[in-house]
Amino acid sequence: MSDYRFITYELLDEGTIARITLNRPRYRNAQNRGLLVELDEAMLRAEADDTVRVVILTGNGMTFSSGHDMGTPERATERAEGPDQHPTFQTNGATRRSAEKRILQEWHYYYQNSLRWRNLRKITICSVRGPVHAAGLTFAWSCDLIVGAEGTTFSDPVGTRLGMCGVEYFAHPWEFGLRRTKELMLTGGDVSIEEARRIGMVSQIYPADELAERTLDYAREIALRPTMTALMIKEAVNQTQDNMGFYNSLQACFSLHQINHAHWAEIHGGRVAHATVEDGAVEWRKRPSSANPDQDDSPPPGEPSGQAAGAGVARPAEAGR
């Protein structure tokens, strides 16, 4: 089923459907570097396989993804010098300094990978549940279609919690709308899955206990389309969106994101590249992650999620974003 550590990869229906599952449920599928690299490899693997017609991206456990990993043991290990360091912390700008290092690393592993998945030569379906936070949105938005379980919510709280203008793949105005994006970023609010469907972001809503099977049925229907037809439909829509300015908007907002980082890094002497509580950011690191992969760590309605500010768990104070 899997040749990976942080995801699983399955071929279903005689290989016509590939299902990729984020597999860090203990940390609500927070996106450490190992997971990001494995997901990119799996996406390209499905793209290269001519038998695959549809790719499903989903998550193990109660939450699809809580965003960037900001403090798990694996995150610390893969970044530290030594035999267990992830090789990407020696390449793609990782040995440079300051803003240059951050720009190059985030360009490759937070931004360009998502854009590459958005343009994958296969139809992709993201199947979500639980609170989908920050960079979890990036995963969902890079897919052609989004389906989800009842009760799912979407948010990018990095504005209120980290003093940032959004995640690196800033598709927010295109997905939420202009003024709704401003409101969500300024208040840290949520979009319900019902609202997401009304505005066209989500295609289908399923009962939580039927999500996996109903998503698979949905993928089977789409897999019936001729591959050329499916690709041309995808390209017609994506190229229309790009001609409306989508790609240039992403490029500009990635640069703004880096200016935002540089602002906080300068204020904090390079110690952290985001706002702190002392700067007016909302405190969010309140709850430890559950060791039970089947336990929903999300807070009661109306209470901020204790561990996700574009992240799965609290980050060490000295770590960079």
pLDDT band at 3 (very low <50, low <70, confident <90, very high): confident
pLDDT digits over 17-62, tens only? 999 999 999 999 999 999 999 999 999 999 999 999 999 999 999 9
Residue 290 has a pLDDT of: 37
Q: Is residue 122 part of a domain?
A: yes
CATH of the domain at 158: 3.90.226.10
> Between 314 and 231, whose confidence is greater?
231
Instruction: Give the mean pLDDT of 85-96.
Output: 97
Q: Is residue 145 part of a domain?
A: yes
Report d(CA 235, CA 254) in Å as an integer. Answer: 23
In the chain, how many domains are there? Answer: 1
Q: Is residue 45 part of a domain?
A: yes
Q: Are 187 and 160 in contact (CB under 8 A)?
A: yes
Q: Is residue 225 part of a domain?
A: yes
pLDDT digits over 192-220, tens only? 999 999 999 999 999 999 999 999 999 99
Residue 288 has a pLDDT of: 44
Report d(CA 46, CA 7) in Å as an integer. Answer: 14
Residue 177 has a pLDDT of: 98
Q: Is residue 287 part of a domain?
A: no
The answer for residues whose C-beta is within 8 angstroms of residue 239's C-beta and 6 or more apart is none
pLDDT digits over 275-304, tens only? 999 999 999 876 443 333 343 333 332 233
pLDDT digits over 109-143, tens only? 999 999 999 999 999 999 999 999 999 999 999 99
Q: Is residue 318 part of a domain?
A: no
pLDDT at 1 over 60: no
Q: Is residue 284 part of a domain?
A: no
Domain containing 226: what range? Answer: 7-279
Q: Is residue 104 part of a domain?
A: yes
